[in-house]
């Protein structure tokens, strides 16, 4: 991977996502920001996909089980050329192709509809088995939130993946440590994800979810070793200055001025990080 290029992609995706949410005037900023670096690595360095042929059967799949963070994925898809970047300004407007939660029938590049938390991993297992039975290549990546792991269905799916030794699916946990109401730890203690997943029979990796190299390394390792999960240590709101707050940031009202300031800050930080990288 080209670290600088991927960091630039992550910054561009963040900026597009903020523009998109600002056009709507509000939205799920916190959880969208926490997955931008993961999406940048997946779509720049890992996924075997073709924006000109979004439905090719042997493609890699991305299931964003935390469907309310669709805006981050839409920004990524627009960045990759699945559709015109201008469309991002229609988020949540009546008749839009970009609804708040991911919809496979409306948006090119969205593989699976999500929104009712806890269902994406099961859908992913079905795609993985469907590929296997029909001899189709490609890996299925499923992103779940840490709050979302409170849904029991996830653990049904994890047991199933482990029992069947499914090697063409990789689970990614966006462990931003917060859910809508509060810090996850305060709502319902999570205990140690790594040992929980290992107890369920998966290979568990941990990565800094905002370090593109670490994300890439752990995902590529996970892809090689059978049923696996990568637990990404992330920060809710990361990279968007006004959302990097200890208070409520699940969704926020976003003014033009807030967006402009946040976007300028992303550029400043990227410049600074280039200095460190060099």
Partner 1 sequence: MGRLTDGITLDTGEMRAYYCKALINEAKKNGKIIVVDADVSHSVGTEPFYAEFPDRAFDCGIMEAQAVGMSAGMSETGLIPFFHAFGVFATRRVFDQIFLSCAYQKLNVKIVGADPGVTAASNGGTHMPFEDLGLMRLIPDCVIIEPADSAMYGAAVSYMANNYGVHYLRTSRRKTMRIYPDSAEFVIGKANMLADGKDVCIIASGIMVYEALKAADTLAELGVYARVLDMHTIKPLDIKAVTDAAKDCGAIVTAENHNVTGGLGAAVCEALAESVPVPVERVGVKESFGEVGTQDYLQKRFGLTAENIVSAAKKCISRKNK
Residue 121 binds partner 1 (CB under 8 A): yes
- Nearest-CA neighbor of 162 among 119, 134, 121, 211? 121
CB of 34 or CB of 119, closer to partner 1:
119
- Give the DSSP letter of residue 118: T
Least separation in angstroms between residue 45's CB and partner 1 is 25
CB of 23 or CB of 171, closer to partner 1:
171
CA pair distance 161, 168, nearest whole angstrom: 10
| Distance in angstroms between the alpha carbons of the first and the last residue of the chain | 16
Residue 97 binds partner 1 (CB under 8 A): no
CB of 158 or CB of 215, closer to partner 1:
158
CA pair distance 230, 202, nearest whole angstrom: 10
Q: Binder to partner 1 among 153, 220, 221, 273 (CB under 8 A)?
A: 153
Residue 276 binds partner 1 (CB under 8 A): no
Residues 159-178 contacting partner 1, CB under 8 A: 159-160, 163
Instruction: Count, in order, helices (H) and strands (E) of the chain.
Output: 10, 7
CB-CB contact of 16 with 91 (8 Å): no
CB of 122 or CB of 273, closer to partner 1:
122
Residue 255 binds partner 1 (CB under 8 A): no
Q: Binder to partner 1 among 19, 20, 45, 103 (CB under 8 A)?
A: 103
Residue 156 binds partner 1 (CB under 8 A): yes
Total binding residues toward partner 1, as defined by CB under 8 A = 32
Q: At 230, which helix (H) or strand (E)? A: strand 228-233
Q: Binder to partner 1 among 107, 119, 176, 179 (CB under 8 A)?
A: 119
Residues 31-60 contacting partner 1, CB under 8 A: 57
Least separation in angstroms between residue 165's CB and partner 1 is 14
CB-CB contact of 28 with 250 (8 Å): yes
DSSP track, 58-72:
TS-EEEESSGGGHHH
Residue 111 binds partner 1 (CB under 8 A): yes
CA pair distance 102, 76, nearest whole angstrom: 13
* Token output for 113: 């509809």
Interface residues with partner 1 (CB under 8 A)?
57, 103-105, 111-113, 115-116, 118-119, 121-131, 133-134, 136, 152-153, 156-157, 159-160, 163
């Amino acid at each position: 991977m080209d670290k600088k290029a991927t960091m630039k992609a992550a910054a561009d995706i963040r900026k597009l996502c903020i523009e998109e949410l600002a056009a709507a005037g509000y939205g799920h900023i916190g959880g969208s920001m926490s997955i931008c670096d993961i999406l940048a690595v997946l779509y720049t360095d890992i996924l075997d996909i073709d924006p000109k042929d979004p439905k090719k059967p042997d493609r890699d799949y991305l299931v964003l089980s935390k469907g309310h963070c669709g805006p981050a994925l839409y920004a990524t898809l627009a960045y990759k050329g699945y559709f015109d970047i201008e469309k991002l300004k229609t988020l949540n407007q009546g008749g839009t192709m970009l609804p708040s939660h991911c919809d496979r029938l409306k948006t090119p590049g969205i593989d699976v509809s999500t929104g009712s938390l806890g269902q994406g991993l099961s859908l992913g297992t079905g795609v993985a088995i469907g590929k296997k039975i029909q001899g189709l290549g490609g890996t299925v990546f499923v992103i779940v939130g840490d709050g979302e792991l409170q849904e029991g269905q996830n653990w049904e799916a994890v047991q199933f993946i482990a029992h069947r030794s499914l090697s063409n699916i990789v689970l990614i946990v966006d462990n931003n440590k917060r859910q809508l109401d509060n810090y996850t730890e305060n709502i319902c203690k999570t205990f140690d994800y790594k040992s929980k997943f290992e107890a369920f029979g998966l290979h568990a990796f941990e990565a800094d979810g905002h370090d593109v190299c670490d994300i890439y390394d752990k995902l590529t390792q996970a892809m090689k070793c059978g049923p696996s999960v990568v637990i990404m240590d992330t920060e809710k709101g990361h990279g968007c200055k006004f959302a990097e707050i200890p208070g409520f940031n699940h969704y926020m009202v976003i003014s033009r001025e807030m967006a402009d300031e946040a976007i300028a800050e992303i550029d400043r930080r990227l410049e600074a990080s280039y200095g460190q990288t060099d």
